[in-house]
Amino acid sequence: MAFGWIEEQDRARREAGLVRVLRPRPASSSLLDLASNDYLGLARHPEVVEGAASAARTWGGGATGSRLVTGTTALHAELESELAGFCGFEAALVFSSGYAANLAAVTALAPHGSLVVSDAGNHASLIDGCRLARGTTQVVGHADPDAVRKALATHDGPAVAVSDTVFSVDGDAAPLAALADACRAYGAGLIVDDAHGLGVLGDGGRGAPQGAGLAGRDDVVATVTLSKSLGAQGGAVLGPARVVAHLVNAARTFIFDTGLAPAAAGAALAALRLLVREPERAARARAVAAELHERLTTAGLDAVRPDAAVVSVRAPSAEEAVRWAADCRAAGLSVGCFRPPSVPDGISRLRLTARGDLSREQIERAVRVIGETRP
């Protein structure tokens, strides 16, 4: 029977407690949301919503084609210019998702004969980019610049190191300055995924590369998503203009993909302008994360100290993590549940989003529910 092997895999998943299901959410809910990646609480901000609606009224429901055919609008160019300027890079290129942006950056910048040095804790999109790249990938220990140096020392030819700036599972930050030093010592490029840094780290939310003094360097490329702090959809690659021009001609997820929908571009641009006017939003998100961590650890929970806006709480097992998240939901709190194979270290967790718009009362409520429902 075609696809008969699916049943066997399904049984294995169920026995391991690793079955995933879709749960459509309503437009409005009484649940306190600590599960989304809406770090600054902008997804429903009136200006961001109007940015999306205005763009749809002006440009229509879709981009209508590849960016190289009909899918590039003046709105896309405006977003790219302002995003590059805000983050401190020479140029930017917008994609239909952050996943597509990561695939583009890694595959187009790691040609045949090159070496890709990838952090063991990288996001799946970076891992897939390494798998699709024509270069050879070497995975090194998590957040270990010395391991990156050793790997680069073994290769004679083009090379890049690839890392998240903030790792999505535990919310820990990569040692960007040390990674950049290692790359520069061996003439290698550095590609960093700032999905969880943009809007939270750096001066007024300008991102982790800007905060580490790496923005605008000719050997550093950053990717971002527009779907987290900016509350929209899509992704972008930021870097030197020559790198962006190369991606236009070589990145398959740019050349063969339909352009980002105008509504998403309009929403992201509105959110970016709002962040420029209200830079304090970034510091607030970090403060909420720090308070969540302090309260959770005081309550005796195994919470990991956050470097940005992600706070994770360790669970005893995958099954108990699922049950814990379900009990939180029943008590009115929505939290993320990370478990294998989504976590590189095999440890299951509740993953909390420290949204910058959370009140003190909401933080207290979240900690109380998590503590009362712990396994």
Do residues 145 and 130 both lie within one domain?
yes
Do residues 138 and 197 both lie within one domain?
yes
**Contact indicator for 192, 221 with CB cutoff of 8 Å:** yes
Do residues 208 and 334 both lie within one domain?
no
Do residues 138 and 261 both lie within one domain?
yes
Rounded Cα distance, 218 and 160, in Å: 13
CATH of the domain at 221: 3.40.640.10
**Residues contacting 166, CB < 8 A, separation 6+:** 172, 173, 174, 194, 195, 196, 197, 200, 201, 208, 307, 308, 310
pLDDT tens for the chain, residues 1 to 375 = 899 899 999 998 888 777 888 888 888 889 999 999 999 999 999 999 999 999 999 999 999 999 999 999 999 999 999 999 999 999 999 999 999 999 999 999 999 999 999 999 999 999 999 999 999 999 999 999 999 999 999 999 999 999 999 998 889 999 999 999 999 999 999 999 999 999 999 999 999 999 999 999 999 999 999 999 999 999 999 999 999 999 999 999 999 999 999 999 999 999 999 999 999 999 999 999 999 999 999 999 999 999 999 999 999 988 899 999 999 999 999 999 988 777 766 788 999 999 999 999 999 999 999 999 999
Of 261, 277, 293, which residue sits at a domain end?
277
Do residues 127 and 31 both lie within one domain?
no
**H/E/C letters for each residue in 68-133?**
CCCCCCHHHHHHHHHHHHHHCCCEEEEECCHHHHHHHHHHHCCCCCCEEEEECCCCHHHHHHHHHC
For the question of whether the overall pTM of this predicted structure is more than 0.75, the answer is yes
Do residues 273 and 283 both lie within one domain?
no
Decide if 149 is inside a domain.
yes
Q: What's the domain count of the chain?
A: 2
**Domain ranges, residue 338:** 25-44+279-372
Do residues 205 and 298 both lie within one domain?
no
Sign of the dihedral defined by the CA atoms of residues 193, 194, 196, 201, in that order: positive
Angle at 20 between CA 18 and CA 24, to 5 degrees: 160
Cβ atoms within 10 Å, residue 8: 9
For residue 235, the number of C-alpha atoms closer than 13 Å in the C-beta half-sphere is 24
